[in-house]
Amino acid sequence: MRRRSPRATDTTWIYNLESTASLLLALGSVVSALVARHVLSAGPALDFWTRCLLPVQLPVFYLGYGYLYQRQWLVDSGRSWLVSMGRELVYMLVPLAAVTVPTLLVDGWTGAGPGLSPAALGRALLVEPVIPVGFFLVALALYAVVPTLRSRRQAALTVSVAAALKVALVVAQSMPGGQEAVAHLPYVVLNGCANGIWFCGGMALAAAEGDGRPLTALGSPRALWGAWAVAAVALLWASRAGIVAAPAMEALLTVGGLWAATALYGRIFSAGRGQWGFFSAVDGYTKGIWLMHPMFLAVWFHLAGPASLPAPLLVAGTLAVAYGLPVAVNVAMDRLWKLGFLVNPSRYLRLPARDDAPRTTAGGPGAA
């Protein structure tokens, strides 16, 4: 059912898209776990889900964080950079640390890792983050090195540099032995090159809105999704045949998937339209689902052990642990001394007051 209140704002679409990505990432973990336990069987549908649809979900967050960064901040001086980075240090490092510590404890208890120690914690926070909070370390680095866009030329240059780094990485990974070679790069460098294009693309999208180009100008969502599905099937076949390398396939499908998703969500949730009741209900908890479901699933399957649970019970329990338990913990944390701050600081800290409208880059409407 669609609820007409509250009304959608200019940024509702990206929050809803991030919520969808969070739910799908958790579903990906559930599906992978059930396949590993032979509850689900591998097949073409699972291959399409794993290799085509699922890889698009994490880039949604880079796109969204870049989009909101461009809309909410004006970073064009040393002072504005310090103010912005002060906020982002809290937004990024608090959930990074809050999820890393219990994850290391769980890994030590289940035998999946060395456990919590000063050395392991330092490595997980600075060198090799645990899944999924490595995103925050990479995003923080992008905030530190990418200023907000002030002109169309700057936007084009920023996106071009990010695209060149992405292409260079894809080419390197597609060469014989390339995957092993690039794996030796520092985590932030490797993932920054891999995902900086989505972050800068989100910034350019917000800048284009400031120039009066609405999201509806991206094209028909139905046509875009149809083209993406055809391309996904073709690229999946080409990848199996050895014609297209997996990194190139993933990059192409991510570009098309983000384009189509932005067009769809931008049209459905444009400003002035009603917000869906579903997203109103889950919006405050999907980040907790994304961040906490891996360690909860690790505990669940460790407790289940080698016991042969009936398939329906295993599926129901896995879904409850992946979705219901993070929500319950998130609710409890919100009510207990506002501990929800540890998972989602942005719900408790306000940005400096500013107009909600996107800024206009030089040459756009309203430019001097």
Residue 361 lies in a domain: no
Among 319, 318, 342, 317, which residue's Cα sits nearest to residue 329?
342
Place of tokens 């967050």: 61
pLDDT at 363: 37
Among 281, 277, 285, which residue's Cα sits nearest to residue 328?
285
Place of tokens 């509850």: 39
CB burial of 229-249 (b: ≥16 within 10 Å; e: otherwise) equals eebbeebbeebeeeebbebbb
Residue 359 lies in a domain: no
Residues with Cβ within 8 Å of 196's Cβ and at least 6 positions away in sequence, in order, are 62, 142, 146, 162, 165, 166
What H or E segment, with its residue span, contains residue 5?
strand 2-7
Residue 239 lies in a domain: yes
Residue 93 lies in a domain: yes
CA atoms within 13 A on the CB side of 221: 12
Residue 204 lies in a domain: yes
Instruction: Kindly tell me the sign of the dihedral angle through the C-alpha atoms of 333, 338, 342, 345.
Output: positive
Q: Work out the angle at residue 187's Cα, subtended by the Cα atoms of residues 165 and 113, and round it to the nearest 5 degrees.
A: 155
Residues with Cβ within 8 Å of 48's Cβ and at least 6 positions away in sequence, in order, are 232, 233, 236
Residue 250 lies in a domain: yes
pLDDT at 10: 84
- In angstroms, the Cα distances linking 232 to 75, 195, 246 are 38, 20, 12
How would you classify the pairing of strands 2-7 and 274-276?
antiparallel
Among 281, 269, 202, which residue's Cα sits nearest to residue 10?
269
Place of tokens 């549908």: 45
Instruction: Kindly tell me the sign of the dihedral angle through the C-alpha atoms of 82, 85, 90, 91.
Output: positive
- Residue 326 and residue 288 in contact, taking contact as beta carbons nearer than 8 Å: yes
Residues with Cβ within 8 Å of 179's Cβ and at least 6 positions away in sequence, in order, are 173
Residue 356 lies in a domain: no
Q: How do the pLDDT tens digits run along the chain, 368 residues long? A: 233 334 556 889 999 999 999 999 999 999 999 998 888 888 888 999 999 999 999 999 999 999 999 998 888 888 999 999 999 999 999 999 999 999 999 999 998 888 899 999 999 998 899 889 999 999 999 999 999 999 999 999 999 999 999 999 999 999 988 889 999 999 999 999 999 999 999 999 999 998 888 888 899 999 999 999 999 999 999 999 999 999 999 999 999 999 999 999 999 998 667 788 899 888 889 999 999 999 999 999 998 876 678 889 999 999 999 999 999 999 999 888 888 899 988 878 765 544 444 444 433 333 33
pLDDT at 258: 98
Residue 98 CA to residue 121 CA, distance in Å, equals: 11
| Domain count along the chain | 1
Domain range for 156: 2-347
Instruction: Report how far Cα 242 is from the mean position of its chain's Cα atoms.
Output: 29
Residue 296 lies in a domain: yes
